[in-house]
Amino acid sequence: MSAMRLPCGVYHERYQQDHAWWQTRFVWVRMVSLCLLLFIGLPALGNVYLLSVANVVGYTILSALGVQLLIGFTGQVTLGHAAFIAVGAYTSAIGMLQFNLPYPVSLMLAGLLAGVWSVLFGLPSARVKGFYLIMTTMAAQFVTVDFVIAQYISRIGERGHYFSLPPGTVSIGPWVIDNELSVYYLMLVLVILSLVFVGNLLRTRIGRAWLAIRDNDIAAEVLGVNIVRYKLLAHFVAGVLAGIAGAFWITSLYFVSPEHFQWSWSLWLVGVILIGGVGSLYGVIYGAMFMTLVPELLKALLFVLTQSPTMVALFPFIPQLLDKFLFVKEATFGLAIVLFLLYEPKGLAYRWWQIKNYIHLWPFSY
Amino acid sequence: MDIFLQLIITGLMVGGIYALVALGWTLIYKSSGVLNLAMGELTLLGAYVSYTFYQWGIPFLPAVFLTLVVGALVGLLTERLCIQPLIGEPTLTVIMVTVGLSFFFRAVIALIFGTDTLVFTPPVFPSEPIRLGEVVIGQVYVWSFVAALLVLLVFVLFFRYTRWGLAIQATADDEMAALSIGVSAKFVYAVAWAIAFMAAGVGGALLGNINGINISVGYLGLLVLPAVVLGGLNSVPGAIVGGLVIGILQNLAGGYLDNLTIAGLKVIPGGVKDIFPFVVMTVMLWFKPYGLWGWVKIERV
Instruction: Going residue by residue through chain A, which has 366 residues, state the pLDDT in tens, using 9 for 90 and above.
Output: 345 677 778 888 888 888 888 888 888 899 999 999 999 988 888 888 999 999 999 999 999 999 999 999 998 889 989 999 999 999 898 888 888 888 899 999 999 999 999 998 888 888 887 888 888 898 888 888 888 877 777 777 667 777 787 777 777 877 888 788 889 999 999 999 999 999 999 999 999 999 999 998 889 999 999 999 999 999 999 999 999 999 999 888 888 888 888 888 999 999 999 999 998 899 999 999 999 999 999 888 888 888 877 777 777 777 777 778 888 888 999 999 999 999 988 999 999 999 988 888 888 877
Give the pLDDT confidence score for residue A3 in this predicted structure: 55
For A143, name the nearest residue in chain B, comparing CA atoms only.
Answer: B275
For A319, name the nearest residue in chain B, comparing CA atoms only.
Answer: B111
Chain A contact for B283 (CB, 8 A cutoff): no
Model confidence pLDDT, tens digit, residues B154-164: 888 888 888 88
Q: Looking at the domain assignment, is residue B148 inside a domain?
A: yes
Chain A contact for B34 (CB, 8 A cutoff): no
Query: What's the pLDDT band for B31 if we cut at 50, 70, 90?
Result: confident
Q: Looking at the domain assignment, is residue B9 inside a domain?
A: yes
Q: Looking at the domain assignment, is residue B151 inside a domain?
A: yes
For A155, name the nearest residue in chain B, comparing CA atoms only.
Answer: B269
Q: Which residues pair with B130 in a beta bridge?
A: B137
Give the pLDDT confidence score for residue B209 in this predicted structure: 82
Model confidence pLDDT, tens digit, residues B213-266: 888 777 777 888 899 999 888 888 888 999 999 999 998 888 887 766 666 556
Please state the three-class secondary structure of A1-69 as a single string.
Answer: CCCCCCCCCCCCCCHHHHHCCCCCHHHHHHHHHHHHHHHHHHHHCCCHHHHHHHHHHHHHHHHHHHHHH
CA distances to B7, B138, B219, B257 from B249, rounded to whole Å, are 9, 19, 17, 11
- Which of B279, B282, B287, B298 best probes binding to A when mutated, by most A CB atoms within 10 angstroms? B282
For B287, name the nearest residue in chain A, comparing CA atoms only.
Answer: A127
Q: State how far the Cα of B91 lies from the Cα of B93, in Å rounded to an integer.
A: 5
Chain A contact for B104 (CB, 8 A cutoff): yes
Tally of domains within chain B: 1
Least confident of A138-142, A167-171, B22-26, B197-201: A167-171
Q: Looking at the domain assignment, is residue B289 inside a domain?
A: no
CA distance A263 to chain B (A): 11
For B35, name the nearest residue in chain A, comparing CA atoms only.
Answer: A131
Q: State how far the Cα of A311 lies from the Cα of A212, in Å rounded to an integer.
A: 55
Query: At CA B79, angle to CA B75 and CA B83, rounded to 5?
Result: 145
Residue B275 and residue A143: Cβ atoms within 8 Å? yes
Give the pLDDT confidence score for residue A85 in this predicted structure: 94
CA distance A278 to chain B (A): 11
Give the pLDDT confidence score for residue A173 in this predicted structure: 76
- Domain extent for B232: 2-249
Distance of CA B130 to the CA centre of its chain: 25
Residue B85 and residue A342: Cβ atoms within 8 Å? yes
Nearest to B111 among A134, A139, A327 (CB): A327
Give the pLDDT confidence score for residue A193 in this predicted structure: 95
Fold of domain A35-361: ABC transporter involved in vitamin B12 uptake, BtuC (1.10.3470)
Whether the link from the prior residue into A363 is cis, omega within 30° of 0, is yes
Question: What is the pTM (predicted TM-score) of this model?
Answer: 0.90
Task: Locate the domains of chain A by residue range.
Answer: 35-361
Any idea what the CATH number is for the domain that residue B128 is in? Answer: 1.10.3470
Q: Looking at the domain assignment, is residue B283 inside a domain?
A: no
Residue A324 and residue B110: Cβ atoms within 8 Å? yes
Give the pLDDT confidence score for residue B261 in this predicted structure: 67
Q: Looking at the domain assignment, is residue B163 inside a domain?
A: yes
B29 or A234, which is more confident: A234
Collapsing DSSP states into helix, strand and coil, what is residue B266?
Answer: strand
Q: State how far the Cα of A94 lies from the Cα of A256, in Å rounded to an integer.
A: 10
- Which of B30, B80, B92 best probes binding to A when mutated, by most A CB atoms within 10 angstroms? B92
Q: Alpha-carbon dihedral of residues A230, A236, A239, A241, nearest 10 degrees?
A: -80
Least confident of A199-213, A311-325, B7-21, B104-118: A311-325
Q: Looking at the domain assignment, is residue B234 inside a domain?
A: yes
Q: State how far the Cα of A160 lies from the Cα of A262, in Å rounded to an integer.
A: 17
